Amino acid sequence: MKSSKFSPTEIAKILKEFESGKSLDTIVREYGVHKVPFYKWRQRYGGMEVSELKKVKQLEEEKRQTQAHVCQTSLGVGYGKICHRKKALKPCVKRALVRELKELYPRGISKACRIFKTSRSSLNYQSVKDDQVLMDELSQLSKDHPREGVSFPKIERYKR
């Protein structure tokens, strides 16, 4: 997990400066923070004091550690790291992990689905897309215009 570049004290200071009337562009330049994390901080921690902010950060970390511990004890070491990540897994990866867990632990599929936060109905999902027409058209365009390559914007220009 990547640690935050800014401490809770600095986050509170930045938010107070913004509330006192300092422009966002000035704050961005001065502290080197991008606008997206700033707005997330503002949404999550707006109006909090430094002590409250530290307490919230500590509680979030404790919650994450508890969830990871529960996951490790219930599944084993290998899946403990996978089941609780900060970054979300793609649905196809979740389906594969649920199927693998089902084979290892024959208790049932419901528990595995709950651990990876996916629905049981998504396990039976089959894609109905038929991209063959598009693929044929793209290959024909790349044959007609070999110097252009298969770059999507260039091919889109020829399709119009």
Tokens, residue 23: 């422009």
Q: What percent of the chain has pLDDT over 90?
A: 0
Tokens, residue 135: 């693929």
pTM: 0.40
- Which residues have a Cβ under 8 Å from the Cβ of 28 and sit 6 or more positions away? 34, 35, 38
Q: How far apart are CA 70 and CA 80, in angstroms?
A: 8
pLDDT digits (tens, 9 = 90+) for 43-87: 887 777 778 878 888 888 888 888 777 766 766 555 555 555 556
Q: How far apart are CA 98 and CA 157, in angstroms?
A: 42
pLDDT digits (tens, 9 = 90+) for 84-102: 555 667 887 888 888 887 7
